[in-house]
Amino acid sequence: MLENDVTHVEETFAVAEAGPAGQLFERELCKEGSQLAVTELNKSKYVEMRVKLELVGKVEEQLKAFLNGVWSVIPEFVTMTQSLDEPELRQIWVGVLEIDVEQWFEATEYAPPCTAQDEVIRWFWTLVGGMSNDQRRRLLFFVTGSSCVPYEGFQGLCSTQGKIFPFSISTIPLDGNPGSWMLPRAHACFNRLDLPMYTSQEQLEENLVMILEPDFMGFGMDE
């Protein structure tokens, strides 16, 4: 419309919409919009108001409900954002995209009898240290359901119920003989990774690489 002549277009500052029951009604973009024709002089204003309607007006009630939820959880959010730039706001809202392996290691807990000194655990952190950031994010997503570190750091990781649950690792026996094939498994509800007690770093790496494939998908229920 902005790039074309609208002289012969019969359009007003009102649009037809369907109600909940399918009935049509007219929504005016401005006061007495149904009586105001779109012309070459005001078409840019019409486009601006139409875009605002499509992106905001049609979801106004849903947006209000969403924002009410945000304000109830972060009551000082408005004041806080006044002193933040876009990257800082994104970091608070989405999380940290760059994963620091040392911080991850320091924040990790181990389910007894597993300890940080276990051979398979040392292999694990050696492999994580050699991963690209994209692979680390995939691993974090596999275990926690989030590919970003919370703004507060790894200590801010939460369960699906919103309770603080640190990243943790436990070791589990291999099925069958020591050379059997078995993938690591995750408990994303409480951020725990179960590592089979592989017999070599190469075996661990082979299975880690498999779960980090972009098209890998697995879901199960423990009995």
Residue 54, pLDDT score: 87
Tokens standing for residue 65: 């409900």
Q: Which of 30, 114, 158, 189 is catalytic?
A: 189
Q: What pLDDT score does 115 carry? A: 95
| Residue range 20-66, pLDDT digits in tens | 777 788 888 899 888 899 998 999 998 999 999 888 888 888 888 98
CA 9, chain centre distance (Å): 44
- Single-letter code of the amino acid located at 191: N
Q: How many CB atoms lie within 10 A of CB 147?
A: 17
148: left (phi over 0), alpha (psi -120 to 50) or beta: beta
Q: Where is pLDDT greater, at 119 or 10?
A: 119
Per-residue pLDDT, 100: 94
Indicate whether 86 pLDDT > 80.
Answer: no
Identify the residue with better confidence: 189 or 128: 128
Average pLDDT over residues 90-104: 83
Compute the mean pLDDT over every residue in the chain, rounded to the nearest whole number.
84
Tell me 173's DSSP state.
Answer: P
Between β-strands 185-187 and 192-196, what pairing exists: parallel, antiparallel or unpaired? antiparallel
| DSSP for 6-28, written as a single string | -TT---BSEEEEE-TTS-EEEEE
**Does residue 222 have a pLDDT over 70?**
no
Instruction: Give me the pLDDT at residue 4, please.
Output: 85
Residue 3 Ramachandran class (φ > 0 left, ψ -120 to 50 alpha, else beta) = alpha
Q: Is the pLDDT of residue 90 over 50?
A: yes
Residue 83, pLDDT > 70, answer no
Of 142-151, 180-189, 199-208, the range with the lowest mean pLDDT is 180-189
**Which one has a higher pLDDT value, 91 or 49?**
49
Q: Say whether pTM exceeds 0.75.
A: no
Q: Is 114 a catalytic residue?
A: no
Query: Can you tell me the distance from the alpha carbon of 154 to that of 140, in angstroms, rounded to the nearest whole number?
Result: 10
Calpha distance 21→198 (Å, rounded): 60
Task: Check if the beta carbon of residue 160 is closer than 8 Å to that of residue 145.
Answer: yes
pLDDT in the model for residue 220? 46
Q: Give 132-170 pLDDT, tens digit per residue.
A: 999 999 999 999 988 889 888 888 888 767 788 899 999
- HSE at residue 58, side-chain half, CA atoms within 13 A, is 13
